[in-house]
């Protein structure tokens, strides 16, 4: 990265931080501030704008444009207008659950660094959404182009998966509105029996290997060391995957 690019990035980050502070000062809830700043950062990266202030104007003036001019501070709790829910699921059930919750009016805005679907639902006019998951190993640009003509819009990435959404209003018309949306689910984690079975198989294999090592060496500590090493060995790629996704989310 050249010195000029680094300076532009520094000014851009400074502008977005200042904007976030001013949005909070105007009463915008933290989750709305976070989503707004991330969207604006993505816009700047996409259009290649080096000067955020030239693109959007002074931070204070732009913040007033982004916050509804009601004459009072925006509510600290967005629940009166927009419901927010973060949840996660394993790859065996995530697509089915996305469509189930999308049918209840939940729109996924992004996937965060720990793999949670950050979802919003308009309280006044909830609309149905549908989702699909695609396997991507070399970036999702080609997939974006392939799905865009059918109205699919990218809404998040997790490791080798890309998630897409589209409103069902195009196909259902007025029926796409959710007349009686159910309450926000109490759960935030949805893991299938297959996922737990896979964990059980891994744990059993690790224990068996540890016993075999202990019997072979005639020393129980050898088996314990083998099991500990296996756990650490599994934790390293998991930590690497989390770090990779966190950086990817920040870049996005």
pLDDT by residue (tens digit) across 198-219?
A: 888 877 776 666 666 665 656 5
Rounded Cα distance between 124 and 233, Å, is 49
Q: Would you say residue 159 has pLDDT above 60?
A: yes
Grouping H, G, I as helix, E, B as strand and the rest as coil, residue 139 is: coil
Grouping H, G, I as helix, E, B as strand and the rest as coil, residue 111 is: strand
- Of residues 109 and 10, which shows the higher confidence score? 109
Average pLDDT, the chain: 77
Instruction: Please choose, from the candidates 243, 209, 215, the residue with its C-alpha nearest in 3D space to the C-alpha of residue 229.
Output: 209
pLDDT at position 24 is: 84
Q: Would you say residue 154 has pLDDT above 60?
A: yes
User: 6 falls in which pLDDT band (50, 70, 90)?
Assistant: low
| pLDDT tens-place string over residues 61-108 | 878 777 654 433 344 444 457 899 999 999 999 999 999 999 999 999
Rounded Cα distance between 237 and 246, Å, is 14
Q: Which phi and psi (to 5°) does residue 114 adopt?
A: -105, 15
Predicted model pTM? 0.56
Rounded Cα distance between 206 and 164, Å, is 37
Helix (H) or strand (E) holding 55: helix 52-56
Instruction: Please choose, from the candidates 120, 38, 55, the residue with its C-alpha nearest in 3D space to the C-alpha of residue 83.
Output: 120
pLDDT at position 139 is: 80
| pLDDT tens-place string over residues 12-36 | 778 888 888 888 887 777 777 887 8
Rounded Cα distance between 33 and 27, Å, is 10
Q: Would you say residue 244 has pLDDT above 60?
A: no
Both tokens assigned to 85: 């829910």
Give Cα separations from 111 to 188, 237, 240 (angstroms): 14, 20, 17
Rounded Cα distance between 174 and 127, Å, is 9
Taking each continuous run of H as one helix and of E as one strand, the counts in the chain are 9, 7
Phi-psi group of 74: left, alpha or beta (phi > 0 → left; psi -120 to 50 → alpha; rest → beta): beta
């Amino acid at each position: 990265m050249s010195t000029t690019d680094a300076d532009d990035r520094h000014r851009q980050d400074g502008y977005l931080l200042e904007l976030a502070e001013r949005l909070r000062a105007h009463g915008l809830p933290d989750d709305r501030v976070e989503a707004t700043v991330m969207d604006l950062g993505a816009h700047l990266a996409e259009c290649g704008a080096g000067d955020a202030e030239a693109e959007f104007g002074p931070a204070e003036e732009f913040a007033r444009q982004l916050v509804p001019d009601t004459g009072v501070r925006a509510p600290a709790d967005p629940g009166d207008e927009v419901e927010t829910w973060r949840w996660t699921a394993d790859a065996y059930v995530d697509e089915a659950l996305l469509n189930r919750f999308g049918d209840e009016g939940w729109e996924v805005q992004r996937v965060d660094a720990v793999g949670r679907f950050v979802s919003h639902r308009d309280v006044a006019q909830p609309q149905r959404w549908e989702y699909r998951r695609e396997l991507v190993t070399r970036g999702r640009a080609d997939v974006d182009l392939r799905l865009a003509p059918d109205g699919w819009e990218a809404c998040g990435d997790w490791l080798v998966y890309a998630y897409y959404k589209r409103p069902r209003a195009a196909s259902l018309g007025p029926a796409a509105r959710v007349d009686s949306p159910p309450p926000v689910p109490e759960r935030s984690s949805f893991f299938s029996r297959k996922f737990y079975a896979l964990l059980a198989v891994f744990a059993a294999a690790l224990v068996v290997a540890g016993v075999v090592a202990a019997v072979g060496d005639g020393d129980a500590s050898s088996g314990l060391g083998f099991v500990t090493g296996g756990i650490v060995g599994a934790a390293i790629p998991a930590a690497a995957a989390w770090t990779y996704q966190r950086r990817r989310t920040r870049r996005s």
